[in-house]
Structure 1
Amino acid sequence: MEDLNAILAPGMLVRHPDHSEWGIGQVQSNVGGRVTVNFPDTGKIVIDGRRIALVPVFDA
């Protein structure tokens, strides 16, 4: 999973594959497989990129 998240950079938009209710979040950082994402209503969440493959959003 980490390889899929390797392309994520600060400012990119993503969705969490298991929590669509969180909406579209913006990547804050991606360091050592830990991706920090700021979701509109949920706030900042640190995601273990080795376990969860975030879905990039290109059409928002």
Structure 2
Amino acid sequence: MDFDLVPGAFVRHPACPDWGLGQVQSVIGGRATVNFEHRGKVTIDLRNVTLEVVGDARPPRP
């Protein structure tokens, strides 16, 4: 499991760069719901797609 893939994380879909930057809304049961800037809300099966994490909304670790 990718522990960086949490609600608030910013991601890109490697096969769909035109969707732009997405923000993870939820991760449940191997599926992530992501809101992409040029595509809108999409549910992604994480068994088939590895999203590229580009940042997240969590505070920095001490």
Shared fold by TM > 0.5?
A: yes
Q: Cα RMSD over matched residues?
A: 1.1
For residues 45-60 of structure 1, what are the structure 2 equivalents within 5 Å?
Answer: 45-58=42-55
The one-letter code of the counterpart of 2:23 is Q
CA shift at 1:44, angstroms? 0.3
Query: Which of 1 and 2 has greater Rg?
Result: 2
Equivalent residues, number = 55
The percentage of counterpart residues that share the same residue type is 51
Task: Show structure 1 runs of 4+ deviating over 2 A.
Answer: none
Q: Which runs of 5+ in 2 are unaligned?
A: 56-62
- Higher-helix-fraction structure: 1
Q: TM-score, normalised by structure 2?
A: 0.82
Q: TM-score, normalised by structure 1?
A: 0.84
